[in-house]
Amino acid sequence: MIPPTFTEIIRRRRSVRRFRPDTVPRALLRELLELSMEAPSSWNFQSRSVVAVCDPAAREALSHAANGQRQPREAPVTLVFLAETGRWREDLTEVYESARARRAWDEEFLRATATHGIDFQRDLEERGLGREYAIKDATIAATHAMLAASAAGLATSAMNGWNETEVLKVIGADHRDDLAVALLLSVGFPAEEPSHPGRLPLDRLAFGDRYGETL
């Protein structure tokens, strides 16, 4: 059975769009970001990063970039999750050495990651899929942050509606064509308690063995 404390964290989370002005303590924010980066990633290449925007003027600019949505303006921090589409081209020695030092990967797995992993990424890029794959890594990290925030009694608002160029400008990364914005996540203390909007019946969303078959 999934522990009730964990199910509670998942079930209690709601998208909140009104925030109190109280700041999120820096230590809690760092803990949140650390747990977010505990998320798995393809080949452990960690093709994602996050910028925590706390500065009021920058948050105002993020609201503008997010089609005027008030959450970045109101919430004390908005996390900008980024897809690092060029991570696989970087020197990944640290990734390999860390796995070796922790005895997480044996030599064969290390070699396979350093060769097949890189070939896999190159092939993705050639097929125009590099961005899509890095966005998966970033989105999973954002989900971790969302649930960690929920566990800490913080509210979140995920946002897809924004202008990417403008968001990149706010975080000082508009010169980087290897970065893509995956998701904005405003975080803070809630000033509203929205009701659960409900979900489609499980049999419409989850299947057993074959698409459409009831589990």
Ligand X SMILES: Cc1cc2nc3c(=O)[nH]c(=O)nc-3n(C[C@H](O)[C@H](O)[C@H](O)COP(=O)(O)O)c2cc1C
Q: What residues make contact with ligand X under the rule CB under 6 A? A: 14-15, 17, 69, 158-161, 183, 194, 197
In DSSP terms, 19 is beta-bridged to 190
- Write out the two tokens for 182: 């995956």
Minimum CB separation of residue 192 from ligand X in Å reads 11
Minimum CB separation of residue 11 from ligand X in Å reads 10
Minimum CB separation of residue 31 from ligand X in Å reads 22
In the bound state with ligand X, the residue whose beta carbon lies nearer, of 67 and 115, is: 67
In the bound state with ligand X, the residue whose beta carbon lies nearer, of 128 and 197, is: 197
In the bound state with ligand X, the residue whose beta carbon lies nearer, of 45 and 81, is: 81
In the bound state with ligand X, the residue whose beta carbon lies nearer, of 71 and 121, is: 71
In the bound state with ligand X, the residue whose beta carbon lies nearer, of 10 and 129, is: 10
Minimum CB separation of residue 59 from ligand X in Å reads 15
Minimum CB separation of residue 48 from ligand X in Å reads 15
DSSP state of 190: B
Distances 140 to 52, 83, 106, 171 between C-alpha atoms, Å: 17, 11, 26, 21
**Which alpha helices (DSSP H) does the chain contain, by range?**
4-12, 26-36, 56-65, 71-74, 93-101, 107-112, 118-126, 130-151, 164-170, 202-205
- Identify which of 18, 14, 23 has the alpha carbon closest to the alpha carbon of residue 192: 18
HSE (CB half, 13 Å, CA atoms) of 118? 13
In the bound state with ligand X, the residue whose beta carbon lies nearer, of 70 and 89, is: 70
- Identify which of 195, 156, 163 has the alpha carbon closest to the alpha carbon of residue 64: 163
Minimum CB separation of residue 29 from ligand X in Å reads 21
Distance CA 17, CA 68 (A): 12
